[in-house]
Amino acid sequence: MKKLKVAVIGVGKLGQHHARILSKNTNVELTAVVDILPERAKKIASLYHTLSYTDYQKILGLVDAVTIATPTPTHYPISKDFISYSIHCLIEKPITDNLEDAEEILDLGKEKNVILQIGHIERFNPAVIAARKYIHEPKYIESRRLGPYDPRVSHIGVVLDLMIHDLDIVLSLVDSKIRELDALGTSVFSEHEDIANVRIKFENGCVADLSASRISLAPFRKIRIFQPDSYISLDYQEKRIKIYQKKFSVVKSLKDIQVISPKLEKYEPLEKELSHFIECVQEGKKPLVTGEHGRDALELGLEILKKIKTV
């Protein structure tokens, strides 16, 4: 199979890892890296034996696909230009910073028949993949995602920075429309909300409580799912799950509960995500995380921000 010519747009904290992984992918020719900081672009290009640019428009038409790991406000103009050239795109989350731009990107992607994948990396977490076969009727979901403040992402708040991972996961687990939404949040270090708590009530009766904070000293990323016959505890960071499952219809003692700790595959989620993108481009497959999924998570995130602002 012919190697795909791929470029990474934005090689900062996250994008440099895109370049590292793609440079090792045997199905890929890492054609270029692009960054507005010339020294950074040159450094990453030198590490992975490719060309460096500061203007992404200079590679339009020279590549088959790109991964876009630039600040969120730039996702729309950059992806629009590449899609216009029928170049496949993996856009880091969130897809854009507003729904109008997201819808335009989706429409253009369909018109140009390109693969559009959104970088909701937790979908590729081995713990999430392993947990899915045990999740069938969630009634209550509790998610907590905490981490230290990073000025690099001060242009958006914690909802679109951190919580959006869990919004995407919850939407993928609960097959129901949202009935009611409550949210609280406040700024501490930035001009945007740095801590937020959300309760989502679905039409099928499931309730999800989510909290996200970027004022914690240590990272903490866990989700718990409760359903009629079991309770699933998932640690995103440690990549492990435990399932507490009823052995019988009536639990009379702890002996009637079995604890399952599945052995998980060991891999780097970003590598799995990027390999999936390349495979989708080469085989014309639908991505696990489509542009529509990215749009839906963004839409919910923006609704949460509206609620926070009205409190």
Angle of helix 291-310 relative to helix 99-112, nearest 10 degrees? 170
Strands 65-68 and 140-146: unpaired
CA distance 292 to 192: 26
Handedness of CA 21, 27, 32, 36 (dihedral sign): negative
Output Rg (C-alpha) for the chain, integer angstroms: 20
3-class state of residue 223 by DSSP: strand
How many angstroms separate the Cα of 133 from the Cα of each of 93, 142, 173? 25, 19, 11
Residue with tokens 């440099």: 16
CB < 8 Å & 24+ apart, contacts of 183-186: 183/304, 183/305, 183/307, 183/308, 183/311, 184/308, 184/311, 185/157, 185/158, 185/159, 185/304, 185/308, 185/311
**128 phi, psi to nearest 5 deg:** -65, -45
Angle of helix 38-47 relative to helix 15-24, nearest 10 degrees? 20
pLDDT of residue 13: 94
What residue segments make up the domains of the chain, in order of their start? 4-122+270-289, 125-264+300-310
CA distance 64 to 66: 7
pLDDT of residue 311: 56
Q: Do domains 4-122+270-289 and 125-264+300-310 have the same CATH topology?
A: no
Handedness of CA 265, 29, 293, 92 (dihedral sign): positive
Closest by Cα among 275, 276, 277, 267 to 25: 275
CB < 8 Å & 24+ apart, contacts of 255-261: 260/134
CA distance 185 to 311: 9
Assessment of whether the complete model's pTM goes beyond 0.85: yes
Tokens of 152: 């690099």
Measured in Å, how far apart are the chain's first and last C-alpha atoms? 55
pLDDT (tens, 9 = 90+) of the chain, 311 residues, equals 789 999 999 999 999 999 999 999 999 999 999 999 999 999 999 999 999 999 999 999 999 999 999 999 999 999 999 999 999 999 999 999 999 999 999 999 999 999 999 999 999 999 999 999 999 999 999 999 999 998 888 889 999 999 999 999 999 999 999 999 999 999 999 999 999 999 999 999 999 999 999 999 889 999 999 999 999 999 999 999 999 998 888 887 878 899 999 999 999 999 999 999 999 999 999 999 999 999 999 999 999 999 998 75
- In the DSSP assignment, the letter for residue 253 is S
The DSSP H or E segment spanning 179 is strand 178-186
Strands 65-68 and 88-92: parallel
- For domain 125-264+300-310, which architecture applies? 2-Layer Sandwich (3.30)
Return the CATH number of 4-122+270-289, one of 3.40.50.300, 3.90.550.10, 3.40.50.720, 3.30.43.10: 3.40.50.720
CA distance 197 to 212: 7
